[in-house]
Chain A
Amino acid sequence: MFWLQIIKGFISVLRSGQTPRQIAAGFALGAIVGLMPFLTLQGLLLWLVILVFDVNLSAALLAVTLFALLSYIIDPLLHAIGYFLLVDTSSLHGFWTSLYNAPIAPLTRFNNTVVLGSFVAGFLLLLPVYFGMRHFVLAYRTHLHTKVEQLKIYQIISKSTLVKWYDRIKNITS
């Protein structure tokens, strides 16, 4: 049910409210968080950025969900990227070694293949996702929203009591 509320919220913001840039930024940041394993220092910092700055929370939560599922599927690829950077790229060994001996860096778990691979992949996807999402929001507001609101499933979700309760909570934090 929670995820239905997020989808409903996301569809509402697509239509109006926050700017396309806020929605795209929330989605792009959520994408990085979703790709990475839980409990890393950079993951916590990204959550702080999402919560402190005025980016769209529904877009961020939806992106976390979608990209977490995606990362589960492409986990071997992320591992391969991380392994390539950590092991096969000898020119980076000095950098990793100094980072490994630095005081705070180990808390980022950068020396884990999947953590590094997903962080790099998320970072590389940041701009494409941001611009792609902004373009999608603009397109949605111009052409698609009337069609989506006529869908029966959208009407069921929007009239749910839980969704209304979620809206009230969300308004407190936004």
Chain B
Amino acid sequence: MRKKFVYFVLVPIVALCVVLYLFIDGWAESGLESAGEAIVGARVEIDNLHLSLSPIAIQFSRLRVANPKDPWKNIFETGKVRFSLDFWQLLRGKYIIETMEVDNLILGTKRTTNGSLPKPPPTPANQTSAVSELTSALGNEAQKAPVFDLNKIRSELKIDSLLNTQNLRTVQYIDSLKLQVRDASQQWQTTLNDVEKSKQRLADVQSSINAINLNELKTVQNITAALNNVNNAYKGINDINETFKNRRAAVTSQLDRLTTSVNAIDSYARSDYEMVRRLARVPDLSTQGLTKLLLGREILQKVSTYLSWIDLARRTVPKYVSEPKDEKPPRFKGQDIHFPVDRAYPKLWIKKIAISGGEDKAQNPDCFYAKGEVRNITNDQRITGFPLTVSLSGGRASGSDFTFDASFDRRPDTPVDNYKVTASNVPITDITFGQADFVPSRITKAVINSSAAVTVPGDQFDSNIKLGFRDLTLVFDRSPQGDIERITRDVLAGITGFNVGLRLWNTAGPLDIALTTDLDDQLSARTKKVIGDEFAKLQNDIRSKVDQRIAEKRAEFEKMFNQKKDEALSQLKGYESLVNQNLALLDGKKKDLDARIEQEKKKQLQNAVKGLFKRP
């Protein structure tokens, strides 16, 4: 035995280990706090952490996690927390915890110190998740909600600026019709020129027919020759007539098409009116519109807040497997041969966190005391084979209860998060009801029962939220301004409860929002009656200005269109009568010639008969 080595090397090393052990509690405490703060983004405080070696276990007397959105409150705080690590797995560099016991979990406790952290450097813009995109889409949706203040609408309503001709599809449509009419007019003119050329032929035919004098035709041969001339002329005129009919049909069908297009101006004008009305943010007083006006912005903002928590969970729960370490190849690399593993373990696996809610709820009557369990926190769910699940329930002294069940599945290629939340008898104070610029009111007292089911598969999102307001009391922030507000307040004051259903989803592309409620039925009848007249005036104003702007263009176009149409039709009509006149003339001539032939034939027959009985 090398005694000097033992005395001068081994003994100091052992002494150093003892010193390390004495200070390791503090180091472990600050290490865990830093790791927690990096995840949450707010102060994480652990009190009185103690690390024991046999068995290897950690316990601390209190854990407080500040709310990054409200640093004067905690997301939760706990009482004593205890857990032990699997020694044999620790030797393999794995942190396996069978059960972590958490006592007295309380949600939303107040803090005496600010729990915010110094602001981190801004994250790159491309690190947006699907849920954060949804959050921003919700913000935009809230901004788009119509304004419900008549005075504001009146003062801000600048219809003339909205009536930019570039915005009005009707004007653009009329302009395109004008071009079509011009093109058609040119085609008509070409056709009419062709018809004009045929007029000369008609005149020639007419003069040749007029030249046939029946009295000068003495023999059957002369008459027959004249008849042949008439028949040939008849045939020529029929050809001209046929060509004319075809061209007239073409012009007429083009006119019919253009007339139909002109009639479509009305539907363009209607859509232009709707567009200008939306731009002017004049609300549509349908039953769906009312609830969106009164509650939409508030609910969407609340949902947006909860979405940010879902986004945090999506980013924090590890996606698939731990990232492979960047290893430098050793001098003698060799080849690692792997053997079947009876039971593989991930780097970190907390199999179960047993949470017990505190008993004395009266200590923090405003906070929720939660109990339940969290299972399978791990860095690699594909090794453990289990998703992370959370099942909590709780309540507070006032009688409110809640349940929260969630699962975060990172085993499949597409991660799936599911949430189910219910809350009952939750007193609500200070919810804005109605917009600040119209019937500014607040729900100062109400009880809400709610349930929500959210599924987040991959980048998609689907949520169903049901809210039931009961025993509510409304307080109005100002004296009524005008009859409309007064009567609307009377309507609102009579409401003691209502249900709201909200679905947000983006399973088929962009975000869709559906808001349903029975509040509409209660509100719509009287409110529509009262304020409908005022909005009707505004809408009529918009409609008349839109109509006026479109009417100018339309009159100009119709004048041009009718002029061109009349020109074409009158020319066609004149030519048609000329053709018909010639045809009538030919018919008359032909009849006369036929009669004359008959007459001559009869005369010749009589002469022949007379010749038979004449004496030689």
> Interface stretch among B86-94, B113-121, B399-407, B538-546?
B86-94
B179 within 8 A of A: no
Interface size on A, residues (CB 8 A): 35
- Is there an interface contact between B88 and A103, defined as CB atoms closer than 8 Å? yes
Q: How far is the CB of B342 from chain A (nearest CB, A)?
A: 5
B5 interface neighbour in A52, A112, A117, Cβ under 8 Å: A52
Give CA–CA (A115, B333) in the complex, Å. 9
A167 within 8 A of B: no
Please, which residues of chain B bring their CB within 8 A of the CB of A38? 330-331
Residues 63 to 114 of chain A near chain B (Cβ within 8 Å): 71-72, 75, 78-79, 82-83, 86-87, 93, 96-97, 100-101, 103-104, 106-107, 111-114
- Is there an interface contact between A111 and B337, defined as CB atoms closer than 8 Å? yes
Whose C-beta in chain B lies nearest to the C-beta of A51?
A: B5
A118 within 8 A of B: yes
- Is there an interface contact between B88 and A101, defined as CB atoms closer than 8 Å? no
A53 within 8 A of B: yes
With A97-B340, A173-B5 known as contacts, the answer to whether A83 contacts B91 (CB < 8 A) is: no
A149 within 8 A of B: no
- Is there an interface contact between B2 and A173, defined as CB atoms closer than 8 Å? yes
B339 interface neighbour in A39, A97, A117, Cβ under 8 Å: A97
- Is there an interface contact between A101 and B332, defined as CB atoms closer than 8 Å? no
Residues 137 to 174 of chain A near chain B (Cβ within 8 Å): 172-174
Interface size on B, residues (CB 8 A): 26
Residues 509 to 538 of chain B near chain A (Cβ within 8 Å): none
Q: How far is the CB of A84 from chain B (nearest CB, A)?
A: 11
With A79-B335, A112-B334 known as contacts, the answer to whether A53 contacts B8 (CB < 8 A) is: no
Q: How far is the CB of B338 from chain A (nearest CB, A)?
A: 7
- Is there an interface contact between A103 and B89, defined as CB atoms closer than 8 Å? yes
Give CA–CA (A103, B91) in the complex, Å. 7
- Is there an interface contact between A114 and B334, defined as CB atoms closer than 8 Å? yes
- Is there an interface contact between A113 and B2, defined as CB atoms closer than 8 Å? no
Please, which residues of chain A bring their CB within 8 A of the CB of B9? 51, 173
Give CA–CA (A38, B330) in the complex, Å. 9
Please, which residues of chain B bring their CB within 8 A of the CB of A106? 92
Please, which residues of chain B bring their CB within 8 A of the CB of A118? 332
B1 within 8 A of A: yes
Q: How far is the CB of A29 from chain B (nearest CB, A)?
A: 13
Give CA–CA (A173, B337) in the complex, Å. 40
- Is there an interface contact between A93 and B335, defined as CB atoms closer than 8 Å? no
B341 within 8 A of A: yes
With A103-B88, A173-B9 known as contacts, the answer to whether A54 contacts B2 (CB < 8 A) is: yes
Please, which residues of chain A bring their CB within 8 A of the CB of B4? 172-174
Give CA–CA (A53, B343) in the complex, Å. 39
B156 within 8 A of A: no
Q: How far is the CB of B596 from chain A (nearest CB, A)?
A: 126
Q: How far is the CB of B11 from chain A (nearest CB, A)?
A: 12
Give CA–CA (A118, B609) in the complex, Å. 151
Please, which residues of chain B bring their CB within 8 A of the CB of A53? 1-2
Give CA–CA (A106, B94) in the complex, Å. 12
Please, which residues of chain B bring their CB within 8 A of the CB of A97? 339-340
B10 within 8 A of A: yes
- Is there an interface contact between B336 and A111, defined as CB atoms closer than 8 Å? yes
B6 within 8 A of A: yes
Please, which residues of chain A bring their CB within 8 A of the CB of B343? 101
Give CA–CA (A115, B335) in the complex, Å. 9
Q: How far is the CB of B449 from chain A (nearest CB, A)?
A: 52
Contact with A along B38-61 (1 / 0, CB 8 A): 000000000000000000000000
- Is there an interface contact between A103 and B92, defined as CB atoms closer than 8 Å? yes
- Is there an interface contact between A37 and B331, defined as CB atoms closer than 8 Å? yes
Residues 43 to 71 of chain A near chain B (Cβ within 8 Å): 51-54, 71
With A52-B5, A53-B2 known as contacts, the answer to whether A112 contacts B335 (CB < 8 A) is: yes
- Is there an interface contact between A52 and B330, defined as CB atoms closer than 8 Å? no
B334 interface neighbour in A54, A72, A113, A172, Cβ under 8 Å: A113
Please, which residues of chain B bring their CB within 8 A of the CB of A111? 336-339
Give CA–CA (A37, B333) in the complex, Å. 9
- Is there an interface contact between B8 and A101, defined as CB atoms closer than 8 Å? no
- Is there an interface contact between A173 and B335, defined as CB atoms closer than 8 Å? no
Give CA–CA (A4, B491) in the complex, Å. 102
A37 interface neighbour in B2, B88, B332, Cβ under 8 Å: B332
Q: How far is the CB of A87 from chain B (nearest CB, A)?
A: 6
Please, which residues of chain A bring their CB within 8 A of the CB of B336? 111-113
- Is there an interface contact between B334 and A79, defined as CB atoms closer than 8 Å? yes
Give CA–CA (A51, B343) in the complex, Å. 38
Give CA–CA (A91, B333) in the complex, Å. 25
- Is there an interface contact between B335 and A52, defined as CB atoms closer than 8 Å? no
Q: How far is the CB of A56 from chain B (nearest CB, A)?
A: 11
Please, which residues of chain B bring their CB within 8 A of the CB of A75? 332
Please, which residues of chain B bring their CB within 8 A of the CB of A87? 337
Give CA–CA (A87, B339) in the complex, Å. 10
Please, which residues of chain A bring their CB within 8 A of the CB of B8? 172-173
- Is there an interface contact between B332 and A78, defined as CB atoms closer than 8 Å? yes
Please, which residues of chain A bring their CB within 8 A of the CB of B339? 93, 96-97, 100-101, 111
Whose C-beta in chain A lies nearest to the C-beta of B342?
A: A101
Give CA–CA (A86, B334) in the complex, Å. 12
Q: How far is the CB of B337 from chain A (nearest CB, A)?
A: 4
Give CA–CA (A131, B9) in the complex, Å. 31
Q: How far is the CB of A30 from chain B (nearest CB, A)?
A: 15
Give CA–CA (A26, B89) in the complex, Å. 35
Give CA–CA (A140, B334) in the complex, Å. 38
- Is there an interface contact between A107 and B332, defined as CB atoms closer than 8 Å? no
Query: Which one of B89, B332, B340 has the highest number of Cβ atoms from chain A below 10 Å of its Cβ?
Result: B332
Name 15 interchain pairs, CB-CB below 8 A, sorted by A: A37-B332, A38-B331, A52-B5, A54-B1, A72-B331, A82-B334, A101-B343, A111-B337, A112-B334, A113-B335, A114-B332, A114-B333, A115-B332, A172-B8, A174-B4
17 further A-B pairs in the complex, CB-CB below 8 A; given A111-B337, A173-B2, A173-B5:
A37-B330, A37-B332, A54-B1, A75-B332, A78-B332, A79-B334, A79-B335, A82-B335, A96-B337, A100-B341, A103-B88, A111-B338, A113-B334, A113-B336, A113-B337, A174-B2, A174-B4
Binding site for B on A (CB under 8 A): 37-39, 51-54, 71-72, 75, 78-79, 82-83, 86-87, 93, 96-97, 100-101, 103-104, 106-107, 111-115, 117-118, 172-174
Closest 8 CB pairs of A and B: A114-B334, A103-B88, A100-B339, A112-B334, A114-B332, A37-B332, A97-B339, A86-B337
